[in-house]
Amino acid sequence: MEKIWKLLGSYGGEFLKGLGGTLYLAAATVALGTALGILVALLQMSRFRPAHALAQTYTEILRGTPILLQLYFFWIGLPKLFPVALSDFACILIALVVNSSSYIAEIIRAGVGAVDAGQWEAARSVGLSEAHVLARVILPQAVRNILPALGNQFIQMVKETSLASVFFVGELMTSYKTVQAATFLALQPLAIVGAIYFLMNVVLSRLVKRVERRLMVYG
């Protein structure tokens, strides 16, 4: 225990830096993944069969392959496909965004599907187009179903960002590697990082549950 306190005193800044990197990477992933996920969900719900098939194939491939494989694919493939220099962070962020969008698309589609079908019919009966029905009537109601699930996706992404350490992208597990290399201690810095992940996810889980309860009250 004494070694852990000494590590926190000497390398607390490094662990805080890793925590900031983890939260930033997770937040950016979910924000950008939501934007892409909305597009994928709209294509999934489209009556235009090629668009629907494309979106289905997209989600099935991403959900059917390991995320670490996808990270390697983007990390190796993107710099070869684009002549513009991409940082390791950019490659990993893009990979995580693409991966999360497949899950967020399903969250959005399920949220929209949970809205009473009569709402669609009522909106169409007053002459609203399909796009207006979705934007003005369905999505505002679906938000109550979508937000808690998005919160859970954020918590999941906080844990999955640990894979970015394989590519030396700055986050908590990268901080662990830095401290371990400097001190030649393995277990103690790992325990600190594990405690940070645990506390962070407990706090985030409670926030998500609080939001969910409020949505139920106002719903």
Q: What is the mean pLDDT of residues 62-74?
A: 96
Burial of 203 (0-12, 13-18, 19+ CB in 10 A): exposed
CA pair distance 173, 160, nearest whole angstrom? 11
- Say which range, 41-45, 78-82, 106-110, has the weakest mean pLDDT: 78-82
pLDDT digits (tens, 9 = 90+) for 154-208: 999 999 999 999 998 989 999 999 999 999 999 999 999 999 999 999 999 999 9
- Please state whether the predicted TM-score (pTM) of the whole model is above 0.95: no
Rounded to whole angstroms, what are the CA distances from 147 to 140, 165, 176? 11, 29, 32
The tokens describing 80, both together, are: 């070869």
- What is the pLDDT confidence band of residue 219, given thresholds at 50, 70 and 90? low
Q: What is the mean pLDDT of residues 80-109?
A: 92
Q: How many domains does one find in the chain?
A: 1
CA pair distance 81, 64, nearest whole angstrom? 24
Torsion angle defined by CA atoms of residues 124, 101, 216 and 114, in that order, rounded to the nearest 10 degrees: 40
Domain with 30, as residue range(s), is 2-218
pLDDT at 178: 95
Residue 219's H or E segment, with its range, is: none
The CATH number linked to 33 is: 1.10.3720.10
pLDDT at 212: 82
Instruction: Characterize 122-152 residue by residue with b for buried, 16 or more Cβ atoms within 10 angstroms of its Cβ, and e for exposed.
Output: ebeeeebeeeebbeebbbeebebbbbbbbbb
Mean pLDDT of the chain: 91
